[in-house]
Amino acid sequence: MAKQDRAVRTRQELIRSAAEAFSRGGFALSSLTDISARAGVSSGALHFHFASKRALGEAVETAAAQTLRRIIAQSPLGHPVPLQTLVDTSHVLAQRLVDDVVLRAGFGLGSDATWREGVELWGEWHSWVRSVLTLARRRGNLATDVVLDDVVSAVTAAVVGFEVLGRADAEWCSRRSLTRFWALMLPRLSSDRLRTELDPEGTGAGMWPEEAAVVPEAG
């Protein structure tokens, strides 16, 4: 059991080390030698767990996707105000992008021209945003003249932008930045009856239980 536990920990360290390397210099410029050294393991141990750098990239994306799905799953779609759910979840996601290098690297790979795989985290986020805003429309949360496709695109693009800018300056992914964004957007998006009830700071952002990134075990 102890040997198996060590193997799991080694694999997790390699995924985190790869995520740090991809975040710093991109996929193409990251070397397996540097990744193994930063994880504190030999090149042989790395190749025991991962046959190639691409396999490491796939593991980073998979772990990031699982974390994103957990963040989304924590969001109560049964909330009577889905628009507030969207605000809250965007805060949680932004904070996790700052704190969780594996999640950040997974999103970063999606915009890396040297990496083309099939997870597409931004696509998953976009789909979830659409589902929440569709529900918000049904519940009467949105102003009648709001075009759903326009809102989905604007919210997705804004969070994408915060993530990209946040790689150089974490302030872009801060609660303060997201609050300013929602304070600007919510009066335009929300119905008259909700306009004074919505909280751009998030009703649970920063207070939800933090969970470690999900690093999948070898299959």
pLDDT in the model for residue 105: 93
* Closest to 56 (Cα-Cα) out of 9, 98, 96, 106: 106
Question: Is residue 218 domain-resident?
Answer: no
Question: Is residue 4 domain-resident?
Answer: no
Contacts of 170 by beta carbon, 8 Å cutoff, 6+ apart: 98
Question: Is residue 151 domain-resident?
Answer: yes
Q: What is the pLDDT of residues 157-205, one digit of tens each?
A: 888 888 888 888 888 888 899 999 999 999 999 999 999 999 999 986 4
Q: What is the mean pLDDT of residues 126-140?
A: 93
Which domain, by its residues, includes 178? Answer: 64-189
Which SS3 state, helix, strand or coil, does residue 14 take?
helix
Angstrom distance (rounded) from CA 159 to CA 173: 9
Question: Is residue 72 domain-resident?
Answer: yes
Q: How many domains does the structure of the chain reveal?
A: 1
Q: What is the pLDDT of residues 84-93, one digit of tens each?
A: 999 999 999 9
Question: Is residue 208 domain-resident?
Answer: no
- Tell me the CATH number at 113: 1.10.357.10
Q: What is the pLDDT of residues 97-127, one digit of tens each?
A: 989 999 999 998 988 888 877 678 888 999 9
Q: Is 185 exposed, middle or buried (0-12, 13-18, 19+ CB in 10 A)?
A: middle
pLDDT in the model for residue 103: 95
Question: Is residue 52 domain-resident?
Answer: no
Angstrom distance (rounded) from CA 108 to CA 102: 10
Q: What is the pLDDT of residues 15-66, one digit of tens each?
A: 999 999 999 989 999 999 999 999 999 999 999 999 999 999 999 999 999 9
